Amino acid sequence: MQLMTFARRNLVLRHRGTLPVILTSPHDGGSTPPGVDQRTAETSPDDCDVNTSRDVRTREITEAVARRILERTGLSPYVVIAEFSRGVVDANRARRCAFVDDDAEKYYDEYHRRVDEYIDQILEQNDGRGFMFDIHGTGVIAEDPADVYLGTANGATLPSWFDRTALFHQHGLHGLLTWARHQTSSGASFDGFRVSPAKPADTETSAVNGGFTVRHYGQRLAAVQVEVARPVRDDGERRDFLIEDLADGIVNFVRRHAPF
């Protein structure tokens, strides 16, 4: 059985993959470098959205999805995971909003240097095509209740070679998550995840329609923000179903659009 190994530098965990896929996880780090000041609304530029909450279990989901893909295909995605706390560095913000202490800069730069490097490799080795899945956590949004939210800034994070409506096909990522079926430990039927937006014509909910990472890298490769609702992350069985379905969905979906 193949093992997935990770290297670590400046509180960034990374894995060099063999697939045209990169998984990123910016918001589940718990490490605070000594002597580095915390981010606050008062010390950040006025137009910066300062959120220091942790997307609990998204690192676990990211690593488990990567390992499931390796087990299934014998090939692995690229992976970049922030181990630093969002309270000192937010890797999903532009530099001016990401940190307030110059000593934090090296952690932010390490994260994005690895993402940049890996995207370069993906595009060079796969005829200019590849996919990013930026994995986050959210609460259930009252006006748009769902288990998983897919954000592309309504298509703006997708390059010209990829049509957003393909996400919603039965063999698209949306379709594969929606139509997955499982039997629970109690014997009941689990009839797939509620995925938002429900249809291609629906506008993505603004709070989860894609942050800095997918918008910044989205013209180089197809970038999708994957927001997992808290009830799914907190339920061990549903979380396991999601890991299995997201990994299998990525494999089947990407094979159609960036063949490997």
Q: Closest Cα to residue 196, out of 222, 232, 239?
A: 232
In a domain, residue 2? The reply is no
Residue pair 213/92 in contact (Cβ under 8 Å)? The answer is yes
Q: Return the structure tokens found at 232.
A: 């799914």
Query: Position 233: which residue type?
Result: R
Provide the domain limits for residue 246: 7-257
In a domain, residue 32? The reply is yes
CATH number for position 77: 3.40.630.40
Q: Count up the domains in the chain and report the number.
A: 1
Q: Looking at residue 219, what is its pLDDT?
A: 85
In a domain, residue 240? The reply is yes
The residues of the chain scoring below 70 in pLDDT are 1
Angle between helices 58-73 and 236-257 (to 10 degrees): 50
Residue-level length of the chain: 260
Q: Looking at residue 257, what is its pLDDT?
A: 95
Please state the pTM of the whole predicted model.
0.97
In a domain, residue 1? The reply is no
C-alpha torsion angle, residues 185, 133, 177, 248 (rounded to 10): -70
Residues 6+ apart with CB under 8 A from 168: 174, 175, 199, 200
In a domain, residue 26? The reply is yes
Longest C-alpha distance within the chain, in Å? Answer: 54
> How far apart, in whole angstroms, are the C-alpha atoms of residue 70 and residue 64?
10
